[in-house]
Amino acid sequence: MKPPAFEYVEPRTVEETVETLAEAGEGASLLAGGQSLLPLLNRRRVRPAVVVDINRVRDMSAVEIRADRVRIGAMGRLRELERHEALRGALPVLPATVRLVAHPQIRSRSTVGGSLSHADPAAELPALAVALGARMVLRSAEGERTVSADDFFRSDATDATDATDATDVAGATNTPGAPAPRTARRPGEVLTAVEFPRRDGFRFCFVEIPRHGQGGFPLVGVCLGLDLARTNGARATTVTAARLAGAGVADRPVRLARAEEALRGRPLDALVAGLTGGEPDDALDGVLDAAASEAAPPSDLHGSAAFRTALLRTAVRRALARLAAEARTEPETAEAARADVEGRGGA
């Protein structure tokens, strides 16, 4: 199919962008990487009066590394973030997780703002943003505001494999015929940047179980971060704080707060001992039960809700085992972040 007729505008500044959005009202869509908007246009799922191409907008792709956070422009390409050397040192879980998204060709076009605005419940970056406690910077003609990741993502109104907020764009305005929005972005707003707290002291990893091979959305993914205190020299650690978010386990990316609470105060080595041939720890079952109790995954042709809940338990186990292995082998002061694609040869 061919897209419907629309007016094409190519602003060069954020100011021009928000002015155009204000004038167009709810009849505008923003175009960044185009990974989601273009298929929707071709299928005439959306019929915007105006398409605002923000690929030439200045100052929306910079990476700023600060003492307490990393600020990334919404037009930052995923492939560039994957290869960003300074980012690997400042917030290594981000480029490591980006590496799991689709294929290099797609990552070369896709943007961080587009992925977050698209807000697919099964996608990696929204879950990462929730786990890290990221803040979205939104701009409109009325001014600028920030929204926490917990408040930015909303329940999905349509099927995750087909719905979009008219993006891979950095915050597209709702258009006639578009699916219901899945974020707190208001009409006339553009997502200009994302701020990720560095959370020094935490070790993070992202573990996902893909649908089939590499490249698609995962069946289930988890981003786990642990703040650890040594309790037995260099061989054991105790969880003093945890952050855990799930992808593909609900109608939006969600914090699994009950599992976080169940992890606090637990010796990490004891939790994972049963996974490596040691004595099983009943506390691990409590953590997994807590995570499963907060999940409400969909059932579709890729797997039932019960199957996805079982995979969530598997993903949490694998994330704990990975962080425990890193804690045993890396220096106490080192930040560790790894992303792991599990199940490429089967879950």
Q: Per-domain residue ranges for the chain?
A: 7-196, 199-341
Q: What is the mean pLDDT of residues 85-90?
A: 96
Q: Single out the residue of 254, 204, 190, 201 nearest to residue 230, CA to CA.
A: 201
242 has pLDDT over 70: yes
Is 250 within 8 Å of 225 (Cβ atoms)?
Answer: no
**Average pLDDT of the residues of the chain:** 87
Q: What is the mean pLDDT of residues 241-252?
A: 97
Q: 252's torsion region: left (phi>0), alpha (psi -120 to 50) or beta? A: beta
256 has pLDDT over 60: yes
Residue 231 pLDDT grade (very low, low, confident, very high; cuts 50, 70, 90): low
Supply the pLDDT for residue 257: 98
Supply the pLDDT for residue 232: 59
The pTM assigned to this predicted structure is 0.88
- CATH T-level topology, domain 199-341: Enolase-like; domain 1 (3.30.390)
Q: What does the pLDDT look like over 260-308, one tens digit per residue? A: 999 999 999 999 998 877 788 899 999 999 999 999 999 999 899 999 9
Class of residue 192 by CB neighbours under 10 A (exposed 0-12, middle 13-18, buried 19+) = buried
Domain 7-196 of CATH type 3.30.465.10: yes
Rounded Cα distance, 118 and 108, in Å:
17
Sign, CA torsion 224/151/254/45: negative
Supply the pLDDT for residue 36: 81
Supply the pLDDT for residue 178: 46
Q: Cα separations (Å) of 146 from 18, 138, 139, 184, 190?
A: 16, 6, 9, 11, 12
Residue 337 pLDDT grade (very low, low, confident, very high; cuts 50, 70, 90): very low
Tokens 């609900």 map to which residue?
Answer: 250
Rounded Cα distance, 158 and 102, in Å:
22
Phi, psi of 12, deg, nearest 5? -115, -10
Supply the pLDDT for residue 40: 86
Q: Which residue has the higher pLDDT, 196 or 27?
A: 196
Supply the pLDDT for residue 144: 98
